[in-house]
Amino acid sequence: MSVLVYTESENGKFKKNAFEVASYAKVVASQLGTSAIALTFNVQDDEILGEYGISKVLKVSNDQLATFSARAFADTISQAVEKEKAKVVIVSSSADTKFMAPILAAKLKAGYVPNVVASPENTEPFTVKRTAFSNKGFAHTQINTDIKIVGVSNNAFGQHKNKVAIEIEDFNPNIDDSSFSVKSVEVDKVVGKATIADADIVVSGGRGLKGPENWGMIEELAEVLGAATACSKPVSDMGWRPHGEHVGQTGKPVASNLYIAIGISGAIQHLAGVSASKTKVVINTDPEAPFFRAADYGIVGDAFEVVPKLIEKLKDF
């Protein structure tokens, strides 16, 4: 019996959430008195997982799996689960994984719970805490199946070093790509220094910025902070910004350490997707804007005055 963790990667490098899920897997393995095994896809620096408590890596090096495909990845993970007799599978709660994990759950006849924010409260019965009702509450959910799949929220559990000796084993899954295959992937243009999913800081603009010509200061603030840029739904609907930047209930979820909302009112659908961020700062001319009630820090003021001053100050650091 073991705990298997699927680690996400891109261009041969682990994504930030790979270290979070690895840390989580180590904690679950310790609770169950077993070891944590990672499955990696076409990664060069597998050894680094040893620093997060992973004692064995099943290393897949296969060009057919160079591009994410939910079905092929679910197939591969299920073969790894079978090989290692894993009873708990840890994955992230990224958009790709949320697409793939239900397929994996069906294959393994496993219960799957995404958006988990803390280590299991109990292993018998296996109980996890997850966000519910668009991040407005928490649910304590029991998984009663023999195999359990836990989807850990980005940025919720954190990365925890716990160095152990690591063994790397090549793993060659049987890939059946006869049903469909991914021909190409179009990657969103990334403005700023990070993608929304991986960013520690997100700078987000709303309709209060009046038009696309005013986004220079948003991009400059993001550049100074090493942040990703995002926007509210109407902003992308009007074509001021690319759809890949739309965050909220119907856009990308944000769980950054710092979320700066500029000229965004804080409608419930916007807050639903960004409220998992740890610290929220709001800049808005209207002191009654609903976002102030959800914010940790607020500046009542005109973005066109406040943001340039903020950039100037930050450049002094």
Contact positions vs ligand FAD (CB under 6 A)? 206-208, 232-235, 248-251, 263-265, 267, 269-270, 273, 283-286, 289, 302-304
Is residue 7 helix, strand or coil? coil
Q: Is 267 annotated as a binding-site member?
A: yes
Considering the complex, state which of residue 153 and residue 275 has its C-beta at the smaller distance from ligand FAD. Answer: 275
Considering the complex, state which of residue 120 and residue 253 has its C-beta at the smaller distance from ligand FAD. Answer: 253
We find the least distance from the C-beta atom of residue 169 to ligand FAD, in angstroms, to be 43
Joined together, the tokens standing for residue 37 give 């095994």
Considering the complex, state which of residue 110 and residue 235 has its C-beta at the smaller distance from ligand FAD. Answer: 235
Q: Is 249 annotated as a binding-site member?
A: no
We find the least distance from the C-beta atom of residue 286 to ligand FAD, in angstroms, to be 3
- The 10 Å CB-count burial string (b at 16+, else e) for 24-51 is bbbbbbebbebbbbbbbbbbeebebbbb
C-beta pairs of 220-226 under 8 Å, 24+ apart in sequence: 220/311, 221/260, 221/307, 221/310, 221/311, 221/314, 222/191, 222/192, 222/193, 223/192, 223/193, 224/311, 224/314, 224/315, 225/201, 225/258, 225/314, 226/192, 226/193, 226/194, 226/200, 226/201
| Amino acid (one-letter) located at 69 | S
CA distances from 48 to 52, 77, 172, 247 (A): 8, 20, 21, 32
We find the least distance from the C-beta atom of residue 239 to ligand FAD, in angstroms, to be 14
We find the least distance from the C-beta atom of residue 219 to ligand FAD, in angstroms, to be 17
We find the least distance from the C-beta atom of residue 212 to ligand FAD, in angstroms, to be 13
> Pairing state of beta strands 137-143 and 228-231?
unpaired
Q: Is 284 annotated as a binding-site member?
A: yes
Considering the complex, state which of residue 72 and residue 254 has its C-beta at the smaller distance from ligand FAD. Answer: 254
CA distances from 166 to 46, 51, 73, 158, 268 (A): 9, 9, 23, 21, 46
Considering the complex, state which of residue 29 and residue 203 has its C-beta at the smaller distance from ligand FAD. Answer: 203
Q: Is 265 annotated as a binding-site member?
A: yes
Q: How many other β-carbons are positioned within 10 Å of the β-carbon of residue 266? A: 21
We find the least distance from the C-beta atom of residue 48 to ligand FAD, in angstroms, to be 35
Binding residues for FAD: 207, 263-270, 284
Binding residues: 207, 263-270, 284
